[in-house]
Amino acid sequence: MIGGNDHAEPNRGDTLTLQTPSSGWASTGKPVPVMSARTLIPFIDFMGDLGAPVERWLERCRLPSRLREDPNSYISTLKHWEFVSLAANEEGIDDLGLMVAHDQGYKIIGPRVLGGVVSAPTLLLGIEAFADRVRGESSASRVWFTPLGESVQLHLERPFDPGTAGYRQTEWLAMIALIKVVQLFAGQAWQPDLVALRSSQGAPPLARRLFPDVRFLTGQTHSLISFPSELLGAEPQSFGRYETVKLTSSLGVLAPGVPPASLSESLVQILMPYLSDGNPTLEMAAEVVGTSRRTLQRRLAENGLSFSTVVDQTRFRVATKMLKHSDATSLEIAKATGYGDASHFARAFRRLAGCNPHQYRLRNLDHPKFTQSRGLAVPSTLLQHS
């Protein structure tokens, strides 16, 4: 049963009776919570339009300088939220997450997730598609729904506690994303019966202007929206496909996100966009994932790894991706992976792959330039999805 009120200090006895999630990454072998770089771009665009020093903020938050160039890359959830918190504080925009969600529209969901939702024949299956794909955008997030009489509660679980920097701002954006998923089937004017948030601050004036008929509860145990269960059978509205086409044309078709399954994999994904800025250090990595240098070393050692091994794996991942999917030269790949020169890169690559970069490229025929030169007729679908 849901209770409480919409003030900054709600009735603690009337909160939702769900267990508060823990980030869990500090446990041995648990992956670090990461988010797709694409999810930060709406904030970057919004603040950039205001003339804010976005590049300086990215540097202050230790985020990759070329983040926009690879929206498929992953960044630390803590650093993502830190950037949002910094932007809100520096510009004095208390409801930044809500403003960005309102301004950017369906861009906050992204073409990959949006495409899966609007392809579903009913809202019920659309929610399932959203829940399945959202973890590719935010690895530690979970979405599910529960029936409650004639209503449905659509829940959102995220890592970390409401006191974490950036939590409130990003929670509002996430709740608007949930609302927009339902609107794809119920219509753009649709509003939920109730919005419950873990953040303790009351709903900002903009929220009440956008959703005048919604009851807002703050300081709750979990984040959710509530709506009539009869909507689960609703079919998608036509405007949803238009929004998907519009996003795809502006952002491109993004590759499916695969959330990391281990500590080392999450570190590799986080470090990949940093390579072009230089060789990642242990100190930098510890700061980015929100722990100490010693703790990170200990967690890696418990999994039979060292930080240098993780960096080697990261460099190899980027190098093989470039060799398979581009015609970049060895020197260009060396620079992109943090090596001093092409010969250094070639020696390191041979040590890991057992062959030199040129031999590896010839064995992996994803790039049209090399398939054509070998006279092979490879279907384009295989080239795109291999």
Q: Which two tokens stand for residue 79?
A: 């650093």
Q: Which two tokens stand for residue 279?
A: 């060789």
First to last CA, the chain: 48
Give backbone dihedrals phi and psi of 2, rounded to 5 degrees, phi first. Answer: -100, 140
Which residues have C-beta within 8 Å of that of residue 300, sequence separation ≥ 6? 263, 264, 306, 307, 310
Mean pLDDT value of segment 341-363: 92
Average pLDDT along the chain: 84
Q: Which two tokens stand for residue 48?
A: 């950039």
Q: Is residue 332 exposed (0-12), middle (13-18) or buried (19+ Cβ within 10 Å)?
A: middle
Residue with tokens 């202007």, as numbered in its chain: 209
Confidence (pLDDT) at 13? 29
Mean pLDDT value of segment 31-51: 93
Q: Which two tokens stand for residue 168?
A: 């409130």
pTM of the model as a whole: 0.81
Give the pLDDT band of residue 106 (cuts 50, 70, 90).
confident
Which residues have C-beta within 8 Å of that of residue 41, sequence separation ≥ 6? 67, 68, 71, 107
Q: Which two tokens stand for residue 58?
A: 């990215």
Contact of 29 with 240, CB cutoff 8 Å:
no
Mean pLDDT value of segment 369-378: 40
Q: Where are the alpha helices (DSSP H) in 227-306?
A: 239-251, 263-271, 282-289, 293-302
Confidence (pLDDT) at 369? 52
**How many residues does this entry show for the chain?**
386
As a whole number of Å, the CA-based R_g of the chain is 22
Give the pLDDT band of residue 368 (cuts 50, 70, 90).
low
Contact of 87 with 57, CB cutoff 8 Å:
yes
Lowest average pLDDT, out of 8-12, 102-106, 169-173, 337-341, goes to 8-12
Q: 225 pLDDT exceeds 90?
A: yes
Which residues have C-beta within 8 Å of that of residue 355, sequence separation ≥ 6? 363
Specify whether domain 263-385 bears CATH 3.30.70.20: no
Quote the CA–CA distance of 248 and 84 in Å, as a whole number. 25
- pLDDT (tens digit per residue) in 145-157: 999 999 999 999 9
Residue among 195, 141, 262, 275 at smallest CA distance from 16: 195
Quote the CA–CA distance of 266 and 268 in Å, as a whole number. 5
Quote the CA–CA distance of 261 and 266 in Å, as a whole number. 7
Question: What's the count of helices (H) and strands (E) in the chain, helices before strands?
Answer: 18, 7
- pLDDT (tens digit per residue) in 284-337: 999 998 889 999 999 899 888 999 999 999 999 999 999 998 999 999 999 999
Lowest average pLDDT, out of 23-32, 38-47, 145-154, goes to 23-32
Confidence (pLDDT) at 84? 97
Confidence (pLDDT) at 249? 52
Quote the CA–CA distance of 227 and 204 in Å, as a whole number. 21
Q: Which two tokens stand for residue 21?
A: 């999630």
Which residues have C-beta within 8 Å of that of residue 194, sequence separation ≥ 6? 2, 214, 215, 216, 217, 224, 225, 226
Q: Domain segments of the chain: what residues?
A: 12-251, 263-385
Q: Count CB-CB contacts under 10 A for residue 208.
A: 14
Q: Which two tokens stand for residue 334?
A: 């060396």
Choose between 376 and 319: higher pLDDT: 319
Mean pLDDT value of segment 341-345: 92
Confidence (pLDDT) at 172? 97
